[in-house]
A = this chain, B = another copy of it.
Amino acid sequence: MNAMTEAVRKNNDIDAVIRDAPLFQGLQGREIDSVVAVATIRSLRRGEVLFQQGAHPAELYVVAEGWVKMTHVTQNGDQIALRFVQRGEHVGGAALVRGVPFPATAMAASDAIIIAWKSAFIFDLVGSSRTAARNALELVGDRADEFLSRIQELASDSVEVRLARHLAELVRRSARKTDRGVGVEFPISRQDLAELCGTTLFTVSRILTRWRDLGLVDPGRQRIVVRDVARLAGLANDRPQALDAR
């Protein structure tokens, strides 16, 4: 594939991501065309920060390629990983449409490509399109739902169940499938998993070691492959018998 066709493929690709983005669902004709027209692209290298917690949103973002980690820092200084955002999803979109500061910092978890729109353009859109306004409400609502399920977890599940659930979710959304199992497709550390589950990296490490001995996962340095998705999902649903030998 030469440079030219590669560029064309990329454009089509980005076009598709834009048209499928949650905030733009259902937009028609001129509206969606103008959204595509004014989109800008930027690429991030792993570790680069897209925006900081507390900053005022100036742009709306969608991930076109790669993964972005959203981290919230509490008053006590503890880090919480709110979410890993993948291709097709908004980053910080709920804050932007509400006009409030970002509640978390967004950092590229892998090299990534981000699509961006100036906030003024988005405000116009949401103000003028009933469909976009409804999408904005849904976006924020989904965020609330997600938070509620985190509260449930923290209030009533063990660390092991929480880890199983988040890991199952990550591999469900990941495309890296091998004959040996399904891997998380970006580098993720024990610390990252700990922040996702509200625990410590030590506890995560111990649990992964146990799961490895049971043949559930194949953990590595910044890398995890789930060898038995079904059993992991069983654990995630708080069915301890998922750990029984087969």
Residues of A within 8 A of B (CB): 72, 74-76, 78, 80, 82, 94, 97-98, 100, 103, 127, 130, 133, 136-138, 140-141, 143-145, 147-148, 150-152, 154-157, 198, 237-238
Contact = CB atoms under 8 A, between A and B. Distances in A.
Contacts of A237: 75
A150 B82 CA distance: 13
A138 B127 CA distance: 14
A154 B80 CA distance: 11
A194 to B, nearest CB: 10
B144 A75 contact: no
Contact of A140 (B130, B140, B148, B155): B140
A151 B80 contact: yes
A72 B237 CA distance: 18
16 contacts: A72-B152, A75-B152, A76-B156, A76-B157, A94-B141, A94-B144, A97-B137, A98-B137, A100-B145, A133-B133, A137-B137, A137-B140, A140-B141, A147-B148, A147-B150, A154-B155
B238 A75 contact: yes
Contact of A143 (B74, B144, B156): B144
Nearest to A78: B156
A136 B136 CA distance: 10
A74 B98 CA distance: 29
A98 B141 contact: yes
A127 B130 CA distance: 8
Contacts of A100: 141, 145
Nearest to A152: B74
A148 B72 CA distance: 10
A103 B148 contact: yes
Contacts of A127: 130
Nearest to A127: B130
Given A98-B141, A137-B140, A141-B100, A198 B147 contact: no
Contact of A155 (B80, B97, B136, B138): B80
Nearest to A100: B141
